Every structure is written in C-alpha cells, then in structure tokens.
Structure 1
Amino acid sequence: MAVVTTIERISKYVDQDVTINGWLFNKRSSGKIQFLQIRDGSGFIQGVVVKSDVSPEVFEKCKTITQESSIMVTGSVRADERAPSGFELTVKDVEIVAIAQEYPISLKEHGTDFLMDHRHLWIRTPKQHAILRIRDEINRAIRDFFHERDFVLVEPPIITPASCEGTTELFEIDYFGQNAYLSQTGQLYAEAAAMAFGKVYSFGPTFRAEKSKTRKHLNEFWMVEPEMAYVDFEGNLKIQEEMIAYIVKRVLENRKMELKTLERNTESLENVKAPFPRITYTDAVKLLQENGFEFEWGDDFGAPHETFIAEQYDKPVFITHFPTKMKAFYMQPDPDNPEVILGADLIAPEGYGEIIGGSQRIHDLELLLHKLEEEKLPKEIYEWYIDLRRYGSVPHSGYGLGLERTVAWLCGIDHIRQTIPFARTLNRVYP
C-alpha cells in the first residue's frame, strides 16, 4: 500500500511508493515518456510516466489530463539532484478526480490586470505560491516570537467610533444609524489590554482610505501591534530589532525552496542581525541636504529619501526622534527636547521603506488632555482611552509592523499587491 503524503514531506519516503493528491500544473511529452508537473499545495514535483513501466490504460489516461485537472498520483520516490526539489516521482498509477476545462492562465506572459482579475487562479503558480508560503512562515514566526516572550494575543475591534490616529482617511460605515469606521489600527485598544496583561499584541486587518496608487500601499492590510507596560523608548527598539532578526532567520531556515523559486538573493538577509543602526530625523535631514535633496526639517520622508538613507547601511535602520507635529497625538515627546518624539520608524534595505512605526506612548494625564485639545480631537470619544491615564498609568511603548511590506522585502518582489492573497487597492475590490 502506498503512503498518502505531501510533496513537502516526500524526502521521508525515498525509494518507497507514495500517493500525492493534487493537480496537474503542466505537462510535456517525448513520445514514450510523459512528464507531469504536479502540485499539491505544499510544493511542486515532477512525475515521470514511462510507457513500458505502466499499463496502456494509465499511459493513455495521462495523455488526456489537462492543465489544473485534479489527480491522485501513485509512484516511487526517487532522489534527483537535477530536480528543483531534489526528488522526482516514478509514476505507477494515476487516478483522475476531475478534468479541468481550458485553463485561462497559460504558461505564457499575461498582463497584471488580467492576472489580478484571475487572482483566485494566479495564486496556484510557483512564484505566487512561494510568496504566500513565505507570508505564512512570517505569520507563524511573529506569533512564536511573542508567545515565547509571554505576550498575550488580544483582538481589538474592527469597527470603531473614531480615528485612532486623528486622520480622515477612514472607511465610514452606517452602524445602526450612527457613524462608525473600519479600524486603521488596533493600537489604542492594545494599550488598554497592556494595562490588564502587561505585554500584549494584536494581529489583524486594518483599513485606510488613502487614494494611493504606489507599489507600497494597500487599502486593506495586516498589522502586528505589540504594546508593553513598563517599557520605555530604548526597550521598544530592542524588541523590534529582536523580532525582525527572528523573522528573517526563520524564513532563511524554513523557506529555502520558496526563496530559490523567487530567485531571491539572500546575502542581504543574512546580514539582518540585531542591533540595528540608528540615525535621528535631524541627522537624516542633514544627510539628505548634503547629498542634493531639497528637504527641510519638518518635511515627511518619501520613498526616494527612505531609499537613500537605507543605502547607507547594510541592514535595517531606525530613524528616531521625529518632529512632534508630524506624529500622532499619543506619542511621548522627548523630555530633553519636546519638539521631537521618543519614537522611530524602521526602514528596510533595498528600497522597501518603512516596515515599522513605533514610540513610547504618553502616560501623563494632563499632557494627553493637552494633546487632544491641541489637535482638536473630540474628548468624549476618547474618554475610555483617557481612563488608562487616570487609573494606574505607567510608562509604556508599542509599535506596528506592516505584514505585507515585510513580505515584499523578504521575498524581494516589486509590488505589495502580490503579498496578500486578495489585494484591495484603490481600483480593485474583485475577486
């Protein structure tokens, strides 16, 4: 009896018979031999059908299989250094589950709009499959990192009564006759949970109604947002660099095949070890000015600025102490210079830009009330958040990591729309 297994685990069954339940990705023939490219969701493998080694019925059956037909293939596992996975399957039998109709995505080149319209099928192809397997690895690494350090996972609401960051780029919904919004961050709620559990993180979808068409923006994306009681600015940076180094190490160790499929040069990723370099916002402005950029103190960095700054280092770099007026109301001003905040953005190498934004949070009640008034935010909506400063306030810090930007960086791909199974952008809400 053949063992039913997956392509990912096939190395355990060399010289044994196995059955793979999957689909036909591609097929070619050289007369008396047919080569079946089989996928099963865990990987890809070639099945070799030799006419003299199988029954006439099996050989003829293989001729009828169309691209993406579902099949159950039984054969003997053979090690082969020439194969991308290191193994091939000498086919003994094939059972057809369903013959696919003419498949819309052929192996020729297709335009981006066509592929995004057929995203439900495009994710079956090797490169898209590799990207999403790496996303899964990053996802699991993040959860493992936090749970190994005794963080508690909390789930903030997706429907909120107001902006968490004082912006207007929100998706408004009718919530039983009153205005509500899709959340742009779970941070404020995570702060409340941190006052109950000490160290928490949220991990879920967030929504921003920016009318942006850049390769780094989505309107629905996933954020990882830890919040930590009794952690200051320095402690916040330390946990960020430890987390990034942990994630990169996991991907390099566990997703070698996927990185190879993407033709990702991993040399730069192997440099990603804590600690990371730092540059203050003020020094970054001077650096840009000295190198021909028209940039003034108080301006926000764009992609060219972040890319140039990142190019000065061989690993991710923190830009720290941004102007207070540029950042959200809850960020703690530097006691030594209230014009800047105790916060930082982490910039990824190779032009991938900001992947983390974080800060120490304001813990003083009067200062928080002043900031809300200064930014003309409605105090009544934030009363529950103000309560955190009334009842047992402590210094605390947190940050948010954009999952899709991290996936794009580690995969080395050009556009963020490929980093999520079904992208939501300015002009795309289908499929």
Structure 2
Amino acid sequence: MKYILVTEIAEHIGEEIILKGWVRNIRHSGKLLFIIFRDGTGDVQCVAFQPELGEEKFDQAKHLTLESSVIITGLVRPHPKLEGQFEVAVTDLSIIQIAEDYPIGKKEHGADFLLSHRHLWIRSSKQWAILRIRHTVYYAICDFLHQNHFTRFDSPILTPNACEGTTTLFELQYFDEGKAYLSQSGQLYLETGIMSLGRVYDFGPVFRAERSKTRKHLTEFWMMDAEAAFIEHNENIQLQEELIRYVIQTVLKERDNELTILERDKEALKAADAPFGRMSHYEAVEYLRSKGSDITHQSDLGAQDEVLLTENSPVPIFVERWPKEIKAFYMKRDPENPDLVLGSDLIAPEGFGEIIGGSQREDDYELLLQRMKDEKMPIEDYRWFLDLRKYGTVPHSGFGIGLERLVSWISGVHHIRETIPFPRMIYRIYP
C-alpha cells in the first residue's frame, strides 16, 4: 500500500492506497457511510460498508465530525455516477483526532464572523479554490517573466523615502537613522537593477496607509513590479498584454475544477484571451462623459468610471497617455504632447477595475531633476536614483501588478479580502 495525495488518485485505479487528511463532510445511511475527504490537493468521496470495514471501525467512523483528522486505507475505483471521477472503498480507518463542534457550518455567516475565523474559513471549498488560483497566478507571472529573460531582483521593504510621496505610507523609527517607511513599491530600486541585469522584477508584500474601505483595497498586499531596459511605451503595453493572457491561459488549463467550485464564468475568461482594447485618457473621458459620467479631462478614473468603460468589452482595456498632473514624477513625457505622459493603466472587464499600472520612465537627468524640484522633493534623498541617469542612462519602462486585484478578477471574487490568506484592512488586523 502506498500513501498518496488525492490529486494523484487517477493513477491508482484498482489499487489499495492510504490517504491522510480531514473530513469535509459525512453522512450515513444504514450500513453505508459516505465521507467527503480532503487533503489540501483535492476532495474525494470515501465509502465505508459496515460488513467490509468491520463493526468496531464502522462505529468509530460514525462518530467522526467535520474537520476530524483521519488516515484512510481503501481501494480506488471509478465513481459510479460521475464520469471521470473516483471514489475510495474504505478497508481501514484510523482517527487522529475527533474535532470539536466546528464553528463554520453550512448556515450563512456574516463577513465579520468569517474574517474573525479566517484561520478556519480558509479550509472551506471556495476559499481553498481561491487560494489555489492565487498560487497558479503567482507562478504564471513568474514563469512568463522568466521565459522573457527577467531576473528576480528583490527590493527592500524598509525604505528611507517614498516612491510617490509619504502621505499614504506607514512610518516607523529606524534605530538612530531617523524615519523609515514600509515600502509601497519596489519600482525605484528595480530601476537600479536594469543597469546591471537588463530586465528585472520583484514580487512581495507592499503597504499603503490609505484609509480606504472598499471591496478593492487592502493595507497589505502583494505586488509584482517589473522594469526593463530598452523597452519603450508601446512594447511595454504589449508585454503586459502577453503576460495577462498567459495568466488567463494557465489558470484555465490548470484550475478548471477550482473555477467550477467558484462558479466562475469560464467563457468570459476565454473571451478575455484576445487582443486588448486601447484608448487614450482623452478618448476614455469623452466616452465616459457620453455615458453620463461627470469626469473631467484632468481627473483620474473613479471606480464607477472603470465599470462604465469596460461594461461592453469582453477584454481588458488599456487607458494610455495621461495628463502629467495626475501621474507620478518619473513618467516620461509624450514627445507628441508634453502635457501628457507615456503611462497606461489596464482596466479589467466585468467591473473589476485597474489591475496594472505602467509607464515609460524619464531617462533624462536634467528633466527628471527639474521635475523633482518642481514637486519640492528632497533631492539629496534621491541622489542614488538620479545617478542612474548620469551613468549609462537608457530608455526603459516598467509596470506593476497587484496580485490580489488580478486574482479577484480571474477567480470572479467580489471582495479582494478573500484573495489573500490573512487580509489587513483599516479596521482589521486579527487573526
């Protein structure tokens, strides 16, 4: 007999195997006992028949509760009703622990209750499915970047200054060195990496101290930032599209079962794997105003604007060439219109909003220095960043993807708080 994982079960039809895990559900009918068993890789039905298992073991099994931990020995056979699925005829069962009354049942629970029991809620089938998709999205991003010659280049979480101002950063005292901040982006540090490695990315937690309480905001989330030398605006956009389409393809291929559990519209995902839309900020504003929005040509897109923009589009839409006043100091000006920057945001369809922000970066030392002075930035704190434009500057671009935002759209989950194991929000830091 061999100890296997549920995900390997199709390879062992007709064999007696050992499973180790937990009871998701249990019901009995006379001399039959049906255990829905899970081990983290999947679920399988295990069927105990009293004459085969023995009266003593069968009686023990009848006392199992939700989330009890068990070791099951049994024979793998095709499921009698579900084509392509399997079940296990139980020949032996050992109980590791009988769980106490599980606080999360089939009844409806409020969001606060579930979040306070997040350490248990993640065991539910839908939360399991979301976290499995998160895992696949993460690795698909890394795999795509690896295939495209990007090197992982980890940036620090503790920083002496901010990427886009300190008003939304968590501040702390760093020994005797003065103030430090939890990073909101690794972008500036990544730009140093391209001068050594050409194409780089980081992937890790970042922090925003905004007091935002929406379904799309977390105070701690995971971000992938990428930077590439000799990549300019249009190629930067093309790279982002190829990456997102690769993620969609990978999830559809590897997480079909999880998407089914979440009742995700797979056809909508398949439809999104097509050439993305593209419009300028000016065109987007004109379109939104025709739809009744009061957005102006000097405004960022609000949440409802993002919904309106993509409501009739099956694919994400790039909004590019933004007014310089509403974008960051490091974005390169559009040579055709210096009032605009060569930046883009990618807006996901189905109301999920922005999932990528990117731009070509300013590579001219004097222009960047003047811009920083205009914004009254502490120049000495950024000397190292300016040095990049003094010693071998080149055209370069980059973009950032919020992992949870992307997972939310791919999995069809309405609240971003369900796409990370332990969400941190302005009113929650437990558990």
Same fold (TM over 0.5): yes
Residues 166 and 328 in structure 1, CA contact (< 8 A), matched pair in contact too: no
SS at match of 2:401: strand
Listed as ranges, the matches of 1:414-425 within 5 Å are 414-425=414-425
Q: Which amino acid aligns with 1:37?
A: I
Tell me the residue number matched to 1:231.
231
In 1, Cα distance between the equivalents of 2:284 and 2:104?
A: 46
Partner of 2:74: 75
Aligned equivalent of 1:201: 201
Specify the code of the residue in structure 2 equivalent to 1:275: P
> What's 1:91 paired with?
90
TM-score calculated relative to the size of structure 1 = 0.98
The one-letter code matched in structure 1 to 2:327 is: K
Counterpart of 1:16 in structure 2 is 15
Correspondences of 1:222-301 after superposition (within 5 Å): 222-301=222-301
- Aligned partners of 2:179 and 2:250: how far apart in 1? 43
Cα deviation, residue 167, structure 1: 4.3
Query: What's the secondary structure of 1:221's corresponding residue?
Result: strand
Residues 410 and 119 of structure 1: is their aligned pair in 2 closer, same or farther, counting only changes over 3 Å? same
Aligned counterparts, 1:314-329, within 5 A:
314-329=314-329
What is the Cα deviation at residue 192 of structure 1?
Answer: 0.5
Deviation at 1:81, TM superposition (A): 6.5
Residue of structure 2 in register with 1:165 after alignment: 164
- The whole-number CA distance in structure 1 between the counterparts of 2:111 and 2:86 is 33
For structure 1, the 5+ residue unaligned runs are none
Decide whether aligned partners of structure 1 residues 303 and 291 sit closer, same or farther in structure 2, where only a CA change above 3 A counts.
same
- Over 3 Å counting, the alpha-carbon distance change for 1:197 and 1:111 in structure 2 is same
> SS of the residue aligned with 1:390?
coil
**Comparing 350-359 with 295-304, which one deviates more in the overlay?**
295-304
Q: What is the DSSP-based 3-state SS (H/G/I as helix, E as strand, rest coil) of the residue aligned with 2:20?
A: strand
Shift of 1:219: 0.3
Q: CA deviation at 1:288?
A: 1.1
- 1:75 and 1:19 map into 2 onto residues whose CA distance is 7
User: How much does 1:302 deviate?
Assistant: 0.8
Task: Summarize the Cα distance change of 1:115–1:332 in structure 2 as closer, same or farther, 3 Å threshold.
Answer: same
2-structure distance, mates of 1:82, 1:151 = 47
> Equivalents in 2 of 1:268, 1:375: separation in Å?
43
Higher mean Cα deviation, 168-177 or 128-137?
Answer: 168-177
- 1:84 to 1:240, Cα distance in 2 relative to 1, 3 A: farther
Question: What's the TM-score, normalizing by structure 2?
Answer: 0.98
Please name the residue that 2:104 is paired with.
105
Matched, 1:219 2:219: yes
Q: Is the 8 A contact 2:355 2:401 kept in 1?
A: yes
> Is contact 2:23–2:70 with CA below 8 Å preserved after alignment?
yes
Question: Residue 38 and residue 84 in structure 1: after superposition, are their counterparts in 2 closer, same or farther (change >3 A)?
Answer: farther
Q: CA deviation at 1:312?
A: 3.2
What is the correspondence of 1:98-137 to structure 2 with a 5 Å cutoff? Answer: 98-137=97-136
Contact kept? 2:277, 2:316, Cα under 8 Å: yes
Distance 1:337 1:81 in 2: 67
- Conservation of the 8 A alpha-carbon contact between 2:198 and 2:228: yes
Q: Deviations over 1:54-102 (max 9, x none)?
A: 1112101101212111101111112227449711111111111122122
* Structure 2 unmatched runs, 5+: none
Show the counterpart of 1:26.
Answer: 25
What amino acid does structure 2 have at the position aligned with 1:276?
A: F
CA distance in 2, matches of 1:26, 1:225: 42
Distance 1:45 1:389 in 2: 58
Q: Give a deviation string over 1:162-206, Cα, whole Å, max 9, x none.
A: 111124100001110410000000000111101110001110110
Aligned partners of 2:74, 2:142: CA distance in 1, in Å?
Answer: 37
Amino acid at match of 1:4: Y
One-letter amino acid of the structure 1 residue matched with residue 56 of structure 2: E
Give the Cα separation in 2 of the matches to 1:405 and 1:280: 23
Cα RMSD, aligned residues only: 1.2
By how many angstroms is 1:340 displaced? 0.8
Give 2:209's aligned amino acid.
A
| 1:45–1:85 CA contact under 8 A, matched in 2 | no
Distance 2:288 2:138 in 1: 35
CA 307–81 in structure 1, closer or farther in 2 if over 3 Å, else same: farther
Task: Deviation per CA, 1:300-357: give whole Å up to 9, x if none.
Answer: 1111101111123220110001111101110001011011110100000100000000
Letter in 1 for 2:36: Q
Q: Does residue 357 of structure 2 align to residue 349 of structure 1?
A: no
For 1:219 and 1:278, the matched residues in 2 are separated by 30
Code of the residue aligned with 2:317 in structure 1: it is V
Contact 1:4 1:19 in 2 (8 A): yes
Q: Does 1:410 align with 2:415?
A: no
Tell me which residue corresponds to 1:58: 57
Contact residue 408 and residue 414 of structure 2 kept, 8 A: yes
Contact 2:158 2:182 in 1 (8 A): yes
